[in-house]
Amino acid sequence: MNADTMDDLNRLNTCFVFMDAAYLFRDEQVTDHCKRTILRFLFIQIDNILKLAGRAKNKLLNEHLITKADEERIKQLIGVLAKSYDHAYVTIRDKIAAHSQPLDLISLLNWWSDIDQTTIAILYEDAKKIQTALASVKGLQFQGIPDYSRLSIPNDSPISLALNPVPSFSSDRLGLSKPNTVSMIACHPSQEKAQTILSIIDFLGIDFALTATTNNPATNYQKWLFDIGWLLAMVDICALIDNLFHDNQYDQSLLSHWTPDMAGYETLSIFDKNRDAAIERKIRDIRNTLGAHLDRSRKVSDVFAQLNSIDLASVHRYACHLVNSFFDACRKDIRTRIFCIQNVPINGVISVQSNDYKPFEA
């Protein structure tokens, strides 16, 4: 087997193990919102597998390591996964997982609800069939996770199922999907953008809670989850930066939506001019080569070495700096102060009528 083919198979191995770890996470004692937030990573891996598996199949055939019949079987299995993914769930990857892009409220809530036990099981089983077919090549083995055991999640962790949600107010775009929560509905594009930013901040809180739970991992399962937490954090930090400051083909940034007469505009504008380009470059490079995509021009080991070389504490500090700057800007203007009221308990209220959203295990 030539080195180029082996590199592609190593990339696939990484995708499969990431997918295994994310899939196992579905049974952890965490909230449904946390499960959906972390399982976004599975959709990124499905996308990677579809882009890599066909290429690997063709190389194996060209090197006579599989027969034409094997190639046809693998091709059919890729087609089954692609039919499920490309015809539906690619939206989750593009709009909620690898990016946080505009999506109308009803569609957003429907897609968010579709990150459920059934969807995850179907995509996972179809992807595993591709892995099994590729593994039939003589001498080829894919790494698994043989040491799975449930995480020990502190009761006071923000992702713990032991925390009974008290009635609270949420301003983010997924607020209507949360139990026991009063949420706002945006009436202006600038409000929709601020709600998207709040959802990204919400994601980051869960990403970092997972890394805290799996810090100093004792098992391979914990190690892969630790990496998943950090990679999702880097994906979400880039999404936060883009939604705050960068206009693109999908939408304007929050800074462009706001006007100079708004009191928070200057605060956000000053922060934009003084951003840390060096750390953002490191974060975005990891996001582009391992977090949201898997680089096909570099060895996986080289990309992981780059991830391991980053000072993760500085990444966390910078994420906090971004988040705090957003809230500082929102506090300056009466029109944006509502976005500082995020996950705040509502005093004097016993419960809020349950929102009509689909539980993860439904």
Question: What pLDDT was estimated at residue 180?
Answer: 86
Question: What pLDDT was estimated at residue 299?
Answer: 92
Nearest C-alpha neighbor of 203 from the set 243, 151, 168: 243
| Same domain? 194 vs 313 | yes
In a domain, 151, yes or no: no
In a domain, 145, yes or no: no
| Same domain? 191 vs 336 | yes
In a domain, 354, yes or no: no
DSSP H helical ranges for the chain = 3-24, 32-62, 68-84, 90-92, 105-113, 117-134, 189-213, 220-245, 254-257, 263-273, 277-286, 300-309, 312-331
Number of domains in the chain: 2
245 near 255, Cβ under 8 Å? yes
183 phi and psi, to 5 degrees?
-130, 160
- This prediction's pTM: 0.95
In a domain, 337, yes or no: yes
**What is the token pair recorded at 203?**
């994601």
| Same domain? 113 vs 213 | no
| Same domain? 124 vs 230 | no
| Same domain? 239 vs 129 | no
In a domain, 152, yes or no: no
The tens-digit pLDDT sequence of the chain (362 residues) is: 788 888 999 999 999 999 999 999 999 999 999 999 999 999 999 999 999 999 999 999 999 999 999 999 999 999 999 998 876 788 999 999 999 998 999 999 999 999 999 999 999 999 999 999 998 887 778 888 999 999 999 888 888 887 777 888 999 999 999 888 888 899 999 999 999 999 999 999 999 999 999 999 999 999 999 999 999 999 999 999 999 999 988 889 999 999 999 999 999 999 999 999 999 999 999 999 999 999 988 999 999 999 999 999 999 999 999 999 999 999 999 999 999 998 888 888 888 876 656 889 86
| Same domain? 123 vs 54 | yes
| Same domain? 178 vs 268 | yes
List the domain range (segments joined by +) for residue 266: 168-345
Of the residues 108, 134, 160, the one at which a domain ends: 134
| Same domain? 180 vs 63 | no
| Same domain? 34 vs 179 | no
